Chain A
Amino acid sequence: MAINVSESEIQLSKLMEYSYYPGCSLHSTAREFDDSIQSIFKTLDIKLYELDDWNCCSAASATTLNHALSLALPGRNLAIAQKSGRDMLIPCTGCYNRHKSTEFELKRNSLNSTMIEAAVGFKYQGNFEVRSLLDVVGNEIGMDRIHQHVQKPLTGLKVVGYYGCLLLRPTKITQFENPEKPILLMELLQTLGAEVMPWSYAMECCGGDQTLVRPEIAVRLVNRLVEHAREAGAQAMVTVCPLCQMSLEMRQTAPGTKMPLFYFTELIGLAFGLKEAPAWWKKHLISPENLMNSLGL
């Protein structure tokens, strides 16, 4: 029986499902990130299949002490994802950076790729892609579709978009936006109806890597970022990375009101009118409730 299916519908049905790699933090300290992702994807009718028996990529620790290990550990996850052939969606930018580095080596068939395959015990087919969350939301789902679902525009909310480092650099691995001038997150927030304040620190490091080891380094960098966000007129910062979110929440030492940190998916959920949204930021260390109440959001 011949069915007339249009081209775009076929495209949509393709992106209806992803292999989902939450990473350790989304099951613990970034629980609300995971919750918001699950909710909004359900609303968009996109299926997420959590990778079976995935392992920790050990992002910071492996890159600090053992570069080869940092390439091999994500390799095991890629081997698992390969079985289904679905694209792999990774919300945590640290995990994304590591998995993308491994994918980069495997694709270019270097000595490293041989080593990774041998250590993990598989042969890379290249039948799927590793995707970041912002990439999928911003480019695959797209602003139009997001806009269609917006029930409660975030009117009056002044924010800055904060990328951090690992989604943007090294450019030849992340293959995402221009690290000196990233705009996708800003466009997304505007689509949600928020007022995006322009600032020059979207890609400057928060020191997350050192936040538990040498907190004073993170304190300096976090205070600098928050100061500039405030200067830009923001009431809240919107992040894409769980480590940045935690570091920015924990290390603000400057006196005065603390700057709340949102995950961008939380704001999407709010704008979609999902009633479970406020429950997410009850889990923040810095509560945005006063701010949201004052704006009627």
Chain B
Amino acid sequence: MSRIGVFVCHCGINIAGTIDVATVVEQVKKHPDVVFVVDYKYMCSDPGQELIKKTIAEYQLDGVVVAACSPAMHETTFRRAVASAGVNSFRCESANIREQVSWVHQEQKKEATDKATAIVRSIVEKVSGNEALAPITAPVTQRVLIIGGGIAGIRCALDIAKAGFPVVLIERNSQLGGKMAQLSGTYLNFSAAPDLLQKLIQQVNTHPNIQVLTNAEVENVDGYVGNFVVKVTAKNEDQANVKEQEEPGKELVPIDFSFDVGAIVVATGWDRYSQALLPEYGGGEIPDVIDGLAFEQMLAAGGKICRPSDGKVPNEIVFVQCAGSRDPERGVPFCSKVCCMYVAKQAMLYKERVPTGQPYVFYIDIRSAGKGYDEYVQRVMTDYQVLYLRGKVGKIFRDGDKVVVWGVDTLSGRALEIAADLVVLATPMAPSSGSVELGQRLHASTDGNGFFTEAHVKLRPVETLTAGIFLAGTAQGPKDIPETVSQASGAAAKVLQLFSNEKMTISPLVATVTAELCSACGTCVEICPYGARSIHPLWNIATVNASLCQSCGACVVACPNKASQVHNWRPDQILAMLDEVI
């Protein structure tokens, strides 16, 4: 038998305005496990909490039910009060008679009161059956693995390393710097991109806390937040050994590594969209139709602007924005965000290097939403004689040694034909190749477009729904360098938050296995969506990884022997609660 105290809150008139609190008190008093019932105006207030503590002492309560607002509001408050009076916090529950009763049944006062009574009594049953549990702790390996050595990975690595924690930075290619290293320079305040990166890469290479592996990829990921085990295959051990391994013509030997890390940051960047997906623009077969990145490479330090076909300098150059993006029908549905800005930059750079040339830009909108962005584009329009034409390009084809562009200018209401020397397609960013597979290995989901999914699009942009896996940069979606850097630092902050203690606390309300009943059939292992269950190799029973268990209850339903249960949500409790309610 329990000794449960029930506290029925008025919540001002929020509850008491609809529910007859006195009647509820009356009815609850009749429950055999209840030794004390009282009603009070505001239970969450300081005096309210004092009342709980006092009553626990006076009546030697071993369980508490607060009939009030949703547990999402104040469960923590009441559990803290109860714990400070010496009762296990898991023997305290909220009975929601506000959001689920008084707020939704305001016209039916009698029925609301009856419903409230039923709910409170059912929660009394639950508390009566609740075990006194202790929170579980798990160790945290205070080391991070960052997948991707572009600007996102670099920034994140430096932030975490400078905070004093070890970083393993792995990069698929042989050099750090990612796509940013291939750019000619940045828009707004033009600085050569490689120069901007140089300093950062140097810091990464020389920082004692950072271990860099190039030509490296993730093979396998095991474990859970705070305790991942990652297998990485690299083709050289670290930068210092590159010279040893790289003899002309000699194949690099792959080496396997295993890292214990507490957190993983996905900074895998983006890849090019294939022009083959744009058959109306030549399908990638016209040499003088290139994409934005290829033009960047031409513009990059030392690069000469020339037609790939015959090496001549192009006099008329056409930039085609939205080449494949914003096209749910035949391309990708999303806006690739950076193209309006980099096309303005490229048109400007072209005009600086080919002063007699004529740049044209076909656009649908100009998306220049950052600080100083619109003014930058306006400057390109006024000072560089770039002709901006509003309309989507219909077709691009070869005619002799020219490339003909058929487009439209909606501002004058006319169809246009331009015989260009060079065409630059602003194609969308595609997710980095292998993203979907990597996501599966990490148990981090990717969206319909192949980019990694954030935990909450507004409020949690650098986390995933998998605890311990974070995101930074274009791996999460198209964005430019300032946003990437912001995200990278944001992800670093989340990692550092995780590393702020050597141990982490996990809720004990997880699944549990009654060993005597378990026949190691393995059904629960298959069914668990979080990979939280496994069959113990020695003892041959199912075991639960408390860090990963989300208490969904699938295993409880699946287990043929009723060996699997969730703490404090056992079937006997639930049946008892149902008895009260029905």
A–B contact via C-beta, under 8 angstroms? no
| A contact residues vs B (CB 8 Å cutoff) | none
B interface residues (Cβ-Cβ under 8 A, vs A): none
